[in-house]
Structures are given as structure tokens and as C-alpha cells.
Amino acid sequence: MVPRQGEALEVHVTNYEEDILRSLRRITRAIDLYSRQLAARYGLTGPQLVCMRALEALGPSTPSTLARHVDLSQATMTGILDRLEQNGLVRRERNQDDRRRVTVSLTESGAGLLGRAPSALQETFVKRLAELPDYEQQLMKATLEKVVVMMGAEGLDAAPILVHGPMDPDLDLPQVEGAGESPEI
């Protein structure tokens, strides 16, 4: 129906854009808030925690092996290891036979901290994802890959690192101001 002069055309507008942006904001905000709590309680970032967990699983490793395992660039891994070493959580040792080779391992302090640290979100997320039917997993993957392209993020370093609250309900993390509030867009 074409409106007459002076009449407005009634158009049904959906709020898909707002809903999608709000969902993206909630995801990033939840990760950000917990990352702050992780830093306040344990002095770690999400990527540092994931790298330490990988070292725990792999045992002493070269930085390049560790970088491949967690899907980060060598440069990013070097920065993470620098900070972990400065904090006494990992140690780098040169190979006696080939001084160019370096092996990274957890220190006693690093292993102790991992014993108290919370699980990363990907562990919980992967369990919940596995409960979905295969077609829903495929749809989610395809949709998220489109979001990555739409945001121009195809070339970004991206390890499967998401940090989330502790699996242990008795673990008391400090509350970050603004946690639990509705996200603003």
C-alpha cells in the first residue's frame, strides 16, 4: 500500500540489530568482568592462565610448541612468558647442548597457583556445546564465523581463551563493580 501525500508509511521494524549487539556486548562484558576478578584475585590474565594450564598438561616445552598448542603467535607467547617469568610462575632454561633452544616449565609457585585457580570458560562452554545437537553446533559455528568477518577480525590472533568464573562454588572471588548489571550498548 502506498501512502498518500503527508501520510507516513508504516513499516514493521525488528530489533535484531539491537538484540545482536546487546548479546555481543554481554559476552564481551562478562569476559571482561571476570578477567578483572581473575587479575585481582590471582594476578593473572586469561591468556596467562591458559598458557600455564597448557604447560601443566604438556610438561616442559619450548615456547614455539606452547604457542602452537594454545594457537597464539610466537610474539604474543613471548610477552606472556616474560610476565609469567617476572612473577616467578614459570622458568626458562637454555638447553645445555644447543644454547639456542629454550625450555619453559612451571615453577613450584606456578603449579601451586594453578591448583587454586578457576577453570577457564572454554572447559564449561565445550561441555555445554557438546550437549547441543550437531546441526545447532554447525549453525553456531557458521554464524560466529560470519560475525568474525563482519567485524573484520579474521586476521586476529585467537586462541580458544575465554575466562569465566570458578567451577568451585566455594571459591570466593571479589565482586567487580558493575557485575550483574544490564550491559549498556
Per-residue pLDDT tens for 101-115? Answer: 999 999 999 999 999
* Adjacent-strand bridge partners of 92: 104
Going by pLDDT thresholds of 50, 70 and 90, the confidence category of residue 16 is: confident
C-beta atoms surrounding 165 within 10 Å: 18
CA distances to 40, 108, 128, 172 from 43, in Å: 6, 16, 28, 15
Contact partners, residue 73, CB within 8 Å, separation at least 6: 67, 157
Cell (9 digits) for 113: 597457583
CATH number for domain 19-150, candidates 3.40.50.300, 1.10.10.10, 3.30.70.100, 2.60.120.200:
1.10.10.10
**Residue 9 pLDDT > 60:** no
Cell (9 digits) for 123: 572447559
0.85 surpassed by pTM: no
The residues spanned by each domain of the chain are 19-150
What's the confidence (pLDDT) of residue 4? 64
The amino acid present at 67, given as its one-letter code, is A
Exposure string over 23-51, b if 16+ CB within 10 A, otherwise e? eeeeeebbbebbbbbbeebbebbbbbbbb
pLDDT digits (tens, 9 = 90+) for 34-84: 788 888 989 998 889 989 999 999 999 999 999 999 988 899 999 999 999
Contact partners, residue 175, CB within 8 Å, separation at least 6: 37
The answer to whether 120 touches 53, Cβ cutoff 8 Å, is: yes
